[in-house]
Amino acid sequence: MTALEDDVGQLLWIGFEGSVVTPELAARLGRGEAGAVVLFKRNLRTQVVGSGSATAVAQEVTDVDALVELNRALHAAREDLLICVDQEGGTVQRVRAPATQWPPMLAFDQIGADDEAFAEEVGHALGAELAAMGFDVDFAPVLDVHTNEANPIIGERAFGRDAASVARRGLAFARGLARAGVLACGKHFPGHGDTVTDSHLALPRIDHDMARLEQVELVPFARAAQARVPMIMTAHVVFAAIDPSVPATLSHAAITGILRDKLGYRGVIVSDDLDMKAIADHFGVGEAAVSAITAGCDALLLCREPLHQRQAREALLRAGTDQPAVRARIAESAARIRDMKRAHVSSTRSRDVVGSVDHRRLADRLAGRA
C-alpha cells in the first residue's frame, strides 16, 4: 500500500451490512481501506419480546453478547480502527435494551438549576455502557438549537431551545463521554435546528443573516471549539450568509473559513453521511468526497452504499495523485485522525454497567418519572 492509499483509508469511515465480520470486510479493513466503521440497527441482532402477552409491553432487545463479539472482531481486523455509533437518546439510540434507554435530550428543559452537572452524569453513564460494549465514538452531542417546531429531523434530539442551554448541557454531556473513555462528536455544524427539510431526503437551506447565526446557531460550536471537543460533524445544509452555492459540508467558507479560522477549532471534522440525498442526489459522491476534503473536512462518512465507498476512494486517490494541493489536504487530515486515535485511551469496563439500576434511575429522572 502506498502512503496516499494509507492516508485515504484513514479518511473513509464506512458502514456495512450484517451482524458479523465477513472475510471480505476483514480483508478491506486489514488492507487499511477504512479508518472507522459505523454501526447501525441493521448490524445488531435484535428481537421483540413481550409482544405475545396481553399485559406485557413489547420491547426491542439487543443481543449484547453478539454486539460485543462483533466489536471485538472489528478491532481485531484493524488495530487502530474506531467503532462509532449514534447513541443520543430518544429516537436515535441504536443499541436497545438491556442497555439503558434514554429519553430525548430536550428533556433537560425540565431538570432545573443543576442541568449541567446532570448532563455530565448522563453522558458518563451512557458512555460507560458504550465503552463496555466495545465502542470508541458516540456521534453525540447534538449541538443544534431547537428553534423551529416544524423541524422534521432535530426536534427533541436537541439539548434545548436556546443557544446557551444547548452549549451548557451539550458540552457537559461531552465531558461525561470523555470521562467514560468515549470520543464525543458535536453535530451538525453550522446548525440544523431551524430547517424544515430533512437532509436525508433533500437539500435544506437556511437564509438567516450572519448576525443571527453568530447569536444562535454558531454559539454551541464556538463553545465546543474552546472546550476542545475531539470531533465536530458537518451539516448538509446551505447557509446563504456563509456560502449560497453549496451545503456546509462542501463549503470552504463554512468549514475552513468559519469553523477552523474564525472559531479556532483544531479537532477532527467529520462529514455527515455522504450517502444522504442532500449530497448523493445533487453532487455525486466521488466529487463530493474531494470537495469535502478540500473544504476542510477530515473524515468522510459513507454509511451504506459500497459503490459510493469505492467511488469516494477512487476519486480521492485520483485527485491526490493529480493535484498536489489535494494530496496535502489528505495528508493533513490523515495526520489529524491518527493523532486523535493515538490520544484516545479506550476504557475497559465491566458489562455490569449496561442497563444498571443506577443508570436506569438517571434515565427515569431525566424523563420526569423519578
Question: Which are the catalytic amino acids?
Answer: 200, 272
What b/e sequence results for 68-99 when a residue is b if at least 16 CB atoms lie within 10 Å of its CB, and e otherwise? eebbebbbebbeebbbbbbbbbbebbbbbbbb
Q: Which amino acid is at 23?
A: P
CA distance linking residue 57 with residue 53, whole number of Å:
8
- Our CA angle for 222, 225, 231, nearest 5°, is 120
**Residues 217, 222: Cα–Cα separation, whole Å:** 10
Give the residue from 299, 208, 308 showing the smallest Cα distance to 255: 299
Name residue 354's amino acid. V
Distance CA 209, CA 215 (A): 10
Helices (H), ranges, 210-356: 210-215, 219-227, 252, 277-280, 285-295, 306-322, 324-343
Residue 230 CA to residue 345 CA, distance in Å, equals 13
Half-sphere exposure of residue 149, counting CA atoms within 13 Å on the CB side? Answer: 0
Cell 487502530 locates to 80
Cell numbers placing 197: 427539510
* CB burial string 144-167: b at 16+ within 10 A, e below: bbbbbeebebbbbbbbbeebebbb
Quick check: 82 and 36 in contact, CB under 8 A? yes
User: Before 141, cis peptide (omega within 30)?
Assistant: yes
Element (H, E) at 70: helix 64-77
